[in-house]
Structure 1
């Protein structure tokens, strides 16, 4: 099984644009040998759609490589690093340099999101007007939209993005988690959009230069929104703050920009490996030098649970620490939302049936599969539930195995390596069926919503290629 086999199989069921994305993904994420030979062999398949408008072979090749270049740029890579043919850009250097600006200006404004303004609550409207006043009059300010889940934070962000973009200026939408990026129009993860390093120190800077497209995008932006910032290390926010000081040549917070943070510190906080409660809290934005400079907008009315006000009040008591506890760490759940836990398999099966009723009937429904999930605090429980779910799923099962190897280590054997599932990697044995949900683990094409955490449905599979 080779990368050549993967592209050959994919060409039997994927569109040429998808093949170009797959080729770019292979360049970034796979161990590559003989890249030019691989490209030459599959060039015809990757340019089939362009044959309708172009017959010149050189021009066809250039069109394909421009697309691959753009895909690589969206993943933070440069096509010049891969030994592919020289690219003659008919649009000139500025198109390459400011591609990020072009992409942001091409984000469509949904009329439905513009109409949100007329439906904002009193709390939301007050926050909206305050933020828009600063955007319109170019007044520097960082805001934090604080509210429990269901109070309409995302609703407010969408209204702000639509309003600013409809007026012409650039509004950048970012999130902490890839899985929430697709919720925001034009959303990207903050690390991807701002080139924030993975390993952070108090002296870290974003990896873009003053002459880069990202820098130009930030210079032109009138509004920056960062969703779920409560789950972000304060060092990441401070790194962007320092970089904005540099490119804007302004000592004001965030280089004088209008920025809107959002999140809920009552919910799950960021992950600090083996960290104590104090260490986790210390790593949040609450302990940053920026926190005292931030204007807080508080949303308290739960819009999502209006039909069950008792539930929203119950959640609020838990998050505020006023709900009665058993010891220091446990709270009692209402009996009507609890399935009693026992080691009996029947109870696990009942949980699955309650969350996924009539699975065989609804397995092909995108809405059904995308609106329910079983959460667990331990990976071993997740693995067990996934095995049970895939066995219940209708259709033929396909099993994929990872290719693992050990370099210069005679103490560990391959079986031990295969038994581990590190964060960010799939299991050694991956079982799938047609229409079953899968989760993307890499940022393949963030501009089009293909990023870490995106849910996909399995549509077809072969030995070396998956269509989702």
Structure 2
């Protein structure tokens, strides 16, 4: 840390302000032996660059109000007064590499997204506003909008599912895990291959991991199997050859098997799954996945759940926080 010249912290708006303040105190303690003035400068005098967008997800405060969330953000920290704000003006995701014929349309869409994020659409408002969605991004079929969305995002699915770039470039974002499950179940019916079902082995932790007065007899295996938690595979995992899946844990970072890596199922064995990497830095690499014991990070649970299952989830559709 003493030899560090620059620290870059990405997605800073999503982190609680206490994390930045802890780093500030730690650097001051580490560097006070090198520079006696370090305690008077933010982060001990080191240059720290925070990347991110406050229009996106702010720190998650369970059961917190709007004021609780704002108060936990970086801009509410005493360090914020020492920050210099630099604004990016070009949407690299939409405009770089885009065809000249589509550049004007992409730029118009990028400006519309910025106006939504800034809250300038819909006239003056106090935080709630009615925004008119452009017709070219609306689903016209109101009888079955989900099927219409599937046809739009995944055209000619059976003709292209062997093409790696086909799944790299598209995904359906949904706000809730229930919606994701419904869309993924629909997609599975489109594939001609036979379904393979994998069931997890669920159990609770030792008695010392639960609170006082906890009765383990009330939590049957059926209850544990029915728990659907964020960041955890479901008890029943249904797969077919060719289906895209997403890793839910870091397995082998050197070979690109990280949380969020997208894979494609090549073979479904009884005790293993062969997959091919279709995103990240090791595209085309094949590997085998086995069951592993997973524990959720949800603090609402009054006990420690242990689920032995393949650490993947079908990802035709995914929640917004996994985009």
Task: State TM-score, norm by structure 2.
Answer: 0.70
Q: Do the aligned partners of residues 362 and 394 (structure 1) sit closer, same or farther apart at CA in structure 2, a change above 3 Å counting?
A: farther
Does the 8 Å CA contact 2:122/2:129 hold for their aligned counterparts? no
Match of 2:2 among 195, 203, 219: 219
Match of 1:255 among 44, 64, 73: 44
Match of 1:425 among 222, 228, 232: 232
Q: Which residue of 2 aligns with 1:244?
A: 27
Q: Which residue of 1 aligns with 2:221?
A: 414
1:170-249 aligned within 5 A: 218-249=1-32
Unaligned runs of 5+ in 2: 33-37, 96-102, 206-214, 276-323
Q: Which residue of 2 aligns with 1:367?
A: 165
Alpha-carbon distance in structure 1 between the residues aligned to 2:153 and 2:259: 24
SS in structure 1 at match of 2:201: coil
Question: Residue 427 of structure 1: CA displacement?
Answer: 0.7
Whose helix fraction is larger, Structure 1's or Structure 2's?
Answer: 1
Is 2:131 the counterpart of 1:331? yes
Alpha-carbon distance in structure 2 between the residues aligned to 1:386 and 1:375: 11
1:111-122 aligned within 5 A: none
Alpha-carbon distance in structure 1 between the residues aligned to 2:73 and 2:191: 41
Question: Residue 412 of structure 1: CA displacement?
Answer: 2.8
Question: Residue 372 of structure 1: CA displacement?
Answer: 0.8
Q: Do the aligned partners of residues 337 and 281 (structure 1) sit closer, same or farther apart at CA in structure 2, a change above 3 Å counting?
A: same
Q: Which residue of 2 aligns with 1:276?
A: 65
Q: Which residue of 2 aligns with 1:207?
A: none
Does the 8 Å CA contact 1:363/1:393 hold for their aligned counterparts? no
Alpha-carbon distance in structure 2 between the residues aligned to 1:413 and 1:237: 42
Alpha-carbon distance in structure 1 between the residues aligned to 2:25 and 2:254: 25
Does the 8 Å CA contact 2:244/2:264 hold for their aligned counterparts? yes
Does the 8 Å CA contact 1:440/1:454 hold for their aligned counterparts? yes
Q: Map Cα deviations across residues 57-105 of structure 1 (whole Å, 9 max, x no partner).
A: xxxxxxxxxxxxxxxxxxxxxxxxxxxxxxxxxxxxxxxxxxxxxxxxx
SS in structure 2 at match of 1:405: strand
Q: Do the aligned partners of residues 261 and 447 (structure 1) sit closer, same or farther apart at CA in structure 2, a change above 3 Å counting?
A: farther
Q: Do the aligned partners of residues 247 and 341 (structure 1) sit closer, same or farther apart at CA in structure 2, a change above 3 Å counting?
A: farther
Task: State TM-score, norm by structure 1.
Answer: 0.49
Whose strand fraction is larger, Structure 1's or Structure 2's?
Answer: 2
Unaligned runs of 5+ in 1: 1-217
Question: Residue 340 of structure 1: CA displacement?
Answer: 4.5
Count of equivalent residues? 249
Q: Which residue of 1 aligns with 2:314?
A: none
Q: Which residue of 2 aligns with 1:15?
A: none
Alpha-carbon distance in structure 2 between the residues aligned to 1:395 and 1:222: 54
Alpha-carbon distance in structure 2 between the residues aligned to 1:260 and 1:242: 17
Q: Map Cα deviations across residues 232-265 of structure 1 (whole Å, 9 max, x no partner).
A: 2222222222222233333232232222211111
- RMSD (Å) for aligned C-alpha atoms: 2.3
Alpha-carbon distance in structure 2 between the residues aligned to 1:467 and 1:411: 38
